[in-house]
Chain A
Amino acid sequence: MAKIDRIDLLIAGVGGQGTLLTGRIIAAAAQAEGYDVKTAETHGMAQRGGSVVIHVRIAGEVRAPLVPQGEADFLLAFETLEALRFLPWLSPAGTVIVNCQEIKPLPVLTGACDYPEGAVETLKNSAGRVIPVEAMKLEPVCSQPRTANVLLVGILARLLPFPEETWQKALAEQIPPRHLTINRRAFTTGWTHQPRP
């Protein structure tokens, strides 16, 4: 596999969607491939259903754990509003992988604000490349919504130069055994979702 100089990515979602675990899976895969890796996580107050973002940086040597604005190669978003929120971190040539799920924040639920319309279109007009995914309609996410994050990891994995065995090993390392089988299925759905570019 061709070596990469650097991959910067952001994982955005809503507290409880598995952003922390996703960051750990990607970091474990990068580490297994011999790269230096750093992540920056959101904990505490931000996790009570709030907006959550994880930075993951992969390179021969990583310094700051935070991806500078405008420099992320990938934005992995588990919810469309959160994809829009962290769009400023994406580089002009970057790729957005977005789960087309809308989770309305409280100000929208109470009628104080409107949920942005045509979010995926906005993403398409702004980003180099957008891969929208109806994860909630795909197996096994439709019956196990909590596996949506790993399905998106599968899609991302296909775009990164790490072999599938590395990803499978990273899944086994990071996911508790009783949830591993269903998450492997989600990963495979993602892995086979897009033809290799």
Chain B
Amino acid sequence: MTATSRKLMSGNEAIARGAYEAGVTVATAYPGTPSTEILEQLSRYPGVRADWAPNEKVALEVGIGASLAGARVLVAMKHVGVNVAADPLLTLSYTGVGGGLVLVSTDDPGMHSSQNEQDNRHYARLAKIPLLEPADSQEALNFVSAALELSERFDTPVLLRTTTRISHSRSLVKTGERREQERIPFQKNPAKYVMLPAFARQRRPLVDKRLEALRREAESSPLNQIEEGRSRRGVICSGMAYQYVKEALPEAPVLKLGFSHPLPEKLILDFAASVEELIVVEELDPFLEEQIRALQPGVPVRGKELLPAAGELAVPLLREQVAGDEAAGTEPLCAEELPPRPPLLCPGCPHRGVFYVLKRLKVTVPGDIGCYTLGALPPLEALDTCICMGSGLGIAAGMERADPAAAGKTVAVIGDSTFFHSGITALIDLVYSGSKTTVLILDNRTTAMTGHQDHPGTGVTLQGMERPPVELEPLCRAIGVRRVFTADPLQLRELEALLKAELNAGELSVIITERPCTLLERAPAAPLTVDPHRCNDCGLCLELGCPALSRSGESALIDGSICTGCGLCVQVCRRKAITGFSAKEGGED
């Protein structure tokens, strides 16, 4: 069997392998689920310089520089990261590249780990650049090479789009050897690389010409394949939808689009001529469907009238909605109404005490993306907004402008990695606009939610180099914030007193809470215990939302196997019923 000679790889591992084999020498990214492992994996290959950037815009700009200097480049980000990088991307389309540049966008239909489920295939149309959509890990590997070759041949960045089910599914992959590429050094060419209006106007028609040339390429590209079938309904699909189609509709002729923008129009019309009806099966928006309909293929085109535009597709959905196959699904065994198991802040998490205090203060808390977004869930329920990376600070400023009294009742929260990503410019706005609000930077020394990536504040790079860490306190002072404080998020009374003082200060304040993520540096403190004679089962400690705390029916209970001895519950208990904590043990770094 051939299976044994292949490797089981996730889509992300395969993308990294593909980049290595294609001779990529420079790779950049900002971590974000489901894209994070691409750079983590690529950083382990020899001959590749892989770095985390502070945000996706910088990641792409570094990628552009490396490409102009002749390197083959991979830049990776989650779907919403492309919004941040959209500014350089849309003009990079005009300048074109030096060495090949592939931008990987990992979309998240179903929002497993995201705040929206935008369909980033639209970016390929918007930027007028080619779009490749792999359907398994083998294609993920192969398509990176294909993307870099297209990029160099057609002088364009290429968008490689995956979804969570491609990036985080494992399938068998045949790997190859690395093919080193010759680097062609940067050559001065202002008409190509300096997008002054006069030069940009010269580039604009070339972008359209390139798009037509790419369309001709897509017509005959091996990435687009017609698979014969016996039914008269032909299916057009791309990405993971292809796998669902092959399983649910094994009889259907299929046009599989691996190279899905610009659309191979002639190929689609030829395929349409061989069937009586076209079904377009795609996750999220009717991206292909609307373009195919506009071609007037001469047969009915159906897609979103059968399948939802929201969420993920699945085999049973296709069987019911497209195959009309009622017998396909047996009656599923039904589970009763079950308590949900939402993700939660870990025992010992330094964010917990912060949100406990914020809830007590009854303040409005604009926030953003990170583990601390979980501060919105019961019982803490303290976080009030989450829109995008860095958004809390701007939102606090806006609330204050609409209602000047809001400044004394608002605390914007942001994590350390997120502050470097997009909080700094917002803090500059707070200084510049004369805001009197309070900002909390939750410094846990890592990018926690995506699995503990380093960032400029830790001073360690993805490949383990040590750099001078960017220090938050002097940075905030340099921006012009006069009231900058540090606090221990595990000392509830001190933190509350400081917050109260700063809310009433009548001036902009930044409080930096300093405590490493509990998964990063486990304090060797002993677990705490409840004295059942002192505990009156009031339930106050449960307001912390700590998974180590529960009720026995008569008193509070601490699960010693997960308690980290952080001591928050000791501080919350009014009857001194929780013991085993000494400030020295639990309170030191």
Residues of A at the B interface (CB closer than 8 Å) are 14-15, 23-24, 27-28, 31-32, 34-51, 62-66, 68-71, 81-82, 84-92, 104-116, 122, 126-127, 145
Contact = CB atoms under 8 A, between A and B. Distances in A.
B170 A49 contact: no
B335 A87 contact: yes
A31 B333 contact: no
B138 to A, nearest CB: 11
Interface stretch (B195-203, B263-271, B338-346, B427-435): B338-346
Contacts of A32: 4
A25 to B, nearest CB: 11
22 contacts: A36-B171, A36-B172, A37-B172, A39-B169, A40-B165, A41-B169, A43-B112, A44-B112, A47-B343, A48-B345, A50-B341, A64-B247, A69-B314, A70-B329, A105-B342, A110-B378, A110-B379, A111-B551, A112-B339, A113-B340, A114-B339, A116-B339
A27 B336 contact: no
B339 A43 contact: no
B341 A105 contact: yes
B486 interface: no
Interface residues of B, number: 58
Contacts of B371: 48
Interface string B370-404: 01001001110000000000000000000000000
Contact of A84 (B247, B332, B338, B545): B338
Given A43-B168, A44-B450, A70 B340 contact: no
Contacts of A41: 10, 168-170
B338 A81 contact: yes
A116 B547 contact: no
A70 B339 contact: no
Contacts of B550: 104, 108-109
Contact of B338 (A44, A45, A85): A85
Interface of B: 1, 3-4, 6, 8, 10, 33-34, 112-113, 136, 165, 168-172, 240, 243-244, 246-247, 314-316, 329-336, 338-346, 371, 374, 377-379, 449-451, 539, 542, 545, 547, 549-551, 561
Contact of A122 (B329, B336, B377, B379): B336
Contact of A109 (B168, B243, B343, B549): B549
Contacts of B449: 44-45, 48
A113 to B, nearest CB: 4
A152 B549 CA distance: 28
B33 A43 contact: yes
A115 B339 contact: yes
A34 B1 contact: yes
Contacts of B165: 40, 65-66
A89 B335 CA distance: 10
Nearest to B250: A63
B10 A108 contact: no
A69 B374 contact: no
Contact of A46 (B113, B315, B338): B113
B8 A28 contact: yes
A81 B243 contact: no
Quick one: which of A38, A68, A88, A122 has the most chain B CB within 10 A? Answer: A68
Contacts of B332: 69-70, 88-89
A122 B246 CA distance: 35
Nearest to A32: B4
Given A43-B168, A88-B332, 6 more contacts: A31-B6, A37-B171, A44-B113, A46-B112, A46-B113, A87-B335
Contacts of A113: 339-340
B31 to A, nearest CB: 10
Contact of A49 (B33, B329, B547): B547
Given A65-B243, A88-B334, A50 B169 contact: no
Contact of A111 (B136, B170, B246, B542): B542
A39 B333 contact: no
A64 B315 CA distance: 8
B315 A84 contact: no
Nearest to B550: A109
A38 B329 contact: no
Contact of B335 (A40, A88, A106, A112): A88
Contacts of A42: 112, 168
A66 B169 CA distance: 9
A92 B333 contact: yes
A37 B341 CA distance: 29
Contacts of A81: 338-339, 341
Given A44-B112, A109-B550, A49 B169 contact: no
Contact of B168 (A37, A40, A91, A107): A40
Query: 8 closest A-B pairs (Cβ-Cβ)?
Result: A34-B1, A44-B33, A44-B113, A50-B343, A48-B343, A113-B339, A105-B341, A65-B169
Contacts of A62: 171
Given A66-B315, A84-B338, A107-B340, A38 B171 contact: yes
